[in-house]
Amino acid sequence: MKLVGVIGAGAAGLCAARHILATRGMSPVVWEKSLQSGGTWVYTPQRGKDEFDLPIHSSIYENLKTNLPKEVMGFPDFPFPSGEESFLHHSQVLQYLDSYAEHYNLHPHIKYGHFVEEVKPVKQDESYTAWDITVRDLESKKVFTTTCDALLVCNGHYSLPQMPEIKDIDKFHGPKSHSHDYREPSPYKDSKVVVLGASASGLDIALELATVAKEVLISHNHPVPIPSELPPNVRQVRGVVSATENGFVFGDGSSAEADMILYCTGYHFTFPFLTEDCGITVEDRIVKPLYKHLFNTKYPSMAFIGIPFQVCPFPLFDIQVQYVMAVLKGVVSLPPREKMDDAFVSHLHKQRRIGYADKSYHQLTPHGQINYTNELSAQIGIVPPLKSSFGSVNLFTALRLVFSFTLFRKYQYRIESDGSVMVRLDGRKVNTVLSIGWLVVKHTSRLLLHDFFGVIKLTTSFLSKKLKSLFFN
Ligand code: FAD
């Protein structure tokens, strides 16, 4: 029996345990530092440290609803329960993960309240490395080491806040916090708030703040303003460059007074338990050297689940874990280390030639996720799990998010048995092509009037990247 270690019992770790259990000759041991599974989806009003004096893991807030419809969000072999709503409250996602764990009988394999402190390679022979995992039982405080034949790292990537560097930030008198610690809007009542960062979370939080705040300034460096209509007390400004005692200066030289700033600036990849011998480093948001965003090229018996972003995470975890299992079973052989390192470097160079920043190395996008999944499925000989409806629903959601942020969660998606996608709004069927076409035309014309050259520059850069990616393929 091979023992496969798993760090973390969030969605990725649960999925890992499920597939390890289904593989003959393998058994999982999952270490989870908290007392329950679900990771990110375990909401807590607490901030700072937990009952074991460890940093709070989850970054979700009280009213968070998913930004992906349940129709594409679930594991391919375990759909969300049916229901009208497509965008679920976080508590429903946790319930779903609990049912998944129950259904596959995962709990007996999870050691709750067990914090992984250190991971070290143990050379078995020239071709194989096992792992010594040192774990602290947080209740008894006992420390012990387990040797595993392989290790899946599933520790999550939305916990360690990335703080921006802002000139003279110490001069600013108001509260400064990161979205990791945001729970609900009442502390922002009647204030003027700068929300720095306009990803899906930044926008979502900004809109929630707008229900109580006097004014919300969304500060970002996107090439053009976000086209969606926003509430009247929300304004878009360029990225913050410096602070004064009572406000901020933005990239275009303008400035504004503010009472508080909330950083929605993302998170770092972090693996504090990996010793240097493991050979993994993180630089400019690249975890390296990984083969297929997955295997440690130095020691391929270590794999990382869930590194790619701008994806539907649960379906991604599912295919990544199945691929790792196929490698561990010997169904698929990985190339020699030099070839895997070459693949990593040549992908990085290709991204650079196309014009992507290094920090986008692990960014897949929904279309990229389909290609990635198809490639992995083909190699392990399974039917690609993501159907064309997956791409359509993702595309509709992404367009509605950008062009109609205040409304995008009101749409209900249904994937019919013939694979077509039915969309409803307020109980009525929606013609998607017409409704999205209208949104795009309306807001793009508005943007063209507002910033003609910005739109042209953005379109040219988009097309040039598309062309270059075709050329370099
Ligand atoms: P996590 O859920 O973070 O789980 C990691 C687990 O590892 C945790 O339980 C943690 O306690 C444990 N752990 C970490 N370190 C150790 C250690 N040293 N020892 C032992 N245990 C350890 N995804 C969607 O699909 N749809 C959405 O709408 C969506 N919205 C999101 C909104 C926000 C604000 C955030 C932050 C994320 C959102 N996500 C969404 C992404 C979400 O993170 C993933 O869906 C998914 O839950 C990640 O699962 P994971 O297992 O990789 O990580």
Q: Give which of 389, 435, 436, 395 is closest to 414, Cα–Cα.
A: 389
Distance CA 289, CA 306 (A): 15
93 CA → ligand 1 middle, Å: 12
Torsional sign, CA 255, 182, 398, 428: negative
Q: What is the pLDDT of residue 438?
A: 86
State the pTM of this model: 0.94
Q: Give which of 354, 360, 159, 366 is closest to 267, Cα–Cα.
A: 159
> The tokens of 219 are what?
């500060």
* Alpha helices (H) along 330-431: 337-354, 365-380, 388-403
> The tokens of 41 are what?
């989806």
Angle between the 432-450 and 452-471 helix axes, to the nearest 10 degrees?
Answer: 120
Distance CA 435, CA 384 (A): 30
Contact 7, 155 (CB under 8 A): yes
Q: What is the pLDDT of residue 473?
A: 61
> The tokens of 269 are what?
């990849």
Distance CA 205, CA 213 (A): 12
Contact 45, 351 (CB under 8 A): no
CB within 8 Å of 451: residues ≥ 6 apart? 224, 225
CB within 8 Å of 389: residues ≥ 6 apart? 71, 415, 419, 420, 421
* Alpha helices (H) along 113-244: 200-209
Q: Give which of 243, 246, 218 is closest to 231, Cα–Cα.
A: 218
CA 377 to chain centroid: 22
Residue 323's Cβ-side half-sphere holds a number of Cα atoms within 13 Å equal to 28
> The tokens of 23 are what?
């593989």
Which residues line the pocket of ligand 1, CB cutoff 6 A? Answer: 7-13, 31-34, 39-41, 57, 59-60, 66-68, 73, 115-116, 154-156, 158, 201, 273, 306, 312-314
Best residue among 86, 155, 203 to mutate for probing ligand 1's pocket (most ligand atoms within 8 Å of CB) is 155
pLDDT 10s per residue in the chain (473 long)? 999 999 999 999 999 999 999 999 999 999 999 999 999 999 999 999 999 999 999 999 999 999 999 999 999 999 999 999 999 999 999 999 999 999 999 999 999 999 999 999 998 777 789 999 999 999 999 999 999 999 999 999 999 999 999 999 999 999 999 999 999 999 999 999 999 999 999 999 999 999 999 999 999 998 888 888 899 999 999 999 999 999 999 999 999 999 999 999 999 999 999 999 999 999 999 999 999 999 999 999 999 999 999 999 999 999 999 999 999 999 999 999 999 999 999 999 988 888 889 999 999 877 889 999 999 999 999 988 888 889 899 999 999 999 999 999 999 999 988 888 999 999 899 988 888 888 888 888 877 877 777 777 777 777 776 766 766 66
> The tokens of 314 are what?
């649960």
Q: What is the pLDDT of residue 353?
A: 86
34 CA → ligand 1 middle, Å: 12
Residue type, 127: S
Q: Give which of 71, 93, 77 is closest to 19, Cα–Cα.
A: 77
Q: What is the pLDDT of residue 463?
A: 72
Q: What is the pLDDT of residue 450?
A: 77
Best residue among 37, 42, 158 to mutate for probing ligand 1's pocket (most ligand atoms within 8 Å of CB) is 158
